[in-house]
Structure 1
Amino acid sequence: MALPRNTPSSWIQGLDFPSRMFETKSTDYELYEEDDEFVLSVEMPGFNREEITVSWDEGVLNVAAEHEDDERGHRKTYHRRFRFPKNIDDAEIMAQYRNGILEVRLPVETDATVSGTEIEVAG
């Protein structure tokens, strides 16, 4: 008996269940480097500016938010951590929230060098 070629049976469709289990939604942020600074834009609709906390600790940027809707009995939270590969001038980090988008600008220290070891890529 041959398996159908045109329309998969429900048994065959179920074979990808493990891969679907680990699917994630599309990325809610954009991160890029331009003009000696990192620019992070995070989509955070439904939050008020006062509900958002942005903090910097030893090369890691923490973005967290919590919104409680008492009328509907809902609680919405957001938390994400970002690690940066270069030294950041933490005194010059700026954050702004407009129209549901949090934008954080993280200037790179120009006189600092990134230390590390180059890893050989085998082929």
Structure 2
Amino acid sequence: MLGECQKGGKDMRYNVAKRTPTTLLDDFFNDDFYFPRTNYGSQIDVYQQNNKYVVEIDLPGFKREEIDIQFNNDVLTIKADHKEEEVNENKKYYYRSRKVSSFMRQIRFNGIDSGLIQAGFNEGVLKVELPIKEVNEVVNRIEIK
């Protein structure tokens, strides 16, 4: 069916620097089998609707041209990079975390008709629709010799 991808053989589900005893308990009680909770900052829903899978990701603050979607070897890869280049000499920042932000998520799907994948981006929500290939089972009779 579908599942979380791993990169380089290492489990990339969590940013260890953001884990605390509280998040460890949250991880234990909130993880589900296919989509472990992540600390990427973007919420994601994946569901099947009729004959397609649908992926919805909250990407607030990103523009359409900052998002890259690829489907290769049964893996959907979604990347988003946002870089502000605003220079304001009247401001002295003590902490700044909104200047550069990025997002990357990979999800494995089987049986997708990759030529018919569609995506839309509206009000900060990316929606990707992945049609499931129709399987026509052909029965071949095999002669016994």
Same fold (TM over 0.5): yes
The one of 67, 70, 75 aligned to 1:60: 75
- Contact 1:36–1:108 at 8 Å: present in 2 too? yes
* Identity in percent: 28
The match for 2:53 among 35, 38, 62 is 38
* 1:77 is aligned to 2:102: yes
For the pair 1:49 / 2:64, whether they are aligned, the reply is: yes
Q: Which has the higher contact order (CA 8 A, sep 6+)?
A: 2
- Which letter does structure 2 place at the counterpart of 1:80? R
Residues in 2 aligned to 1:46 and 1:65: alpha-carbon distance in whole angstroms: 10
State the Cα distance separating 1:67 from its structure 2 match: 0.6
* RMSD over aligned Cα atoms: 2.5
CA distance in 2, matches of 1:55, 1:97: 15
DSSP-derived class of the 1:67 partner: strand
**For the residues of structure 2 that align with 1:45 and 1:18, how far apart are their CA atoms?**
25
**Match of 1:20?**
22
Structure with greater proportional strand content: 1
Distance of 1:112 and 1:62 partners within structure 2 = 28
**Unpaired segments of 5 or more residues in structure 2?**
1-18, 28-37, 88-95, 138-145
- Deviations 1:57-78 (CA, angstroms, capped at 9, x unpaired): 1110000010111126811101
- Letter of the 2:108 partner, please give it: R
Q: How many residues align?
A: 96
Instruction: List structure 1 segments (4+ residues) > 2 angstroms apart after TM superposition.
Output: 17-27
Is 2:115 the counterpart of 1:91? yes
Amino acid at match of 2:125: I
Q: What residue identity is the alignment partner of 1:20?
A: T
Name which one, 1 or 2, has greater alpha-carbon Rg: 1
Q: Secondary structure at the match of 1:50?
A: helix
SS at match of 1:55: strand
- Provide closer, same or farther for how the CA distance between residues 56 and 112 of structure 1 changes in structure 2, counting only shifts above 3 A: farther
1:111 Cα shift? 1.4
Paired position in structure 2 for 1:110 = 134
Name structure 1 gaps, 5 residues minimum.
Answer: 1-16, 114-123
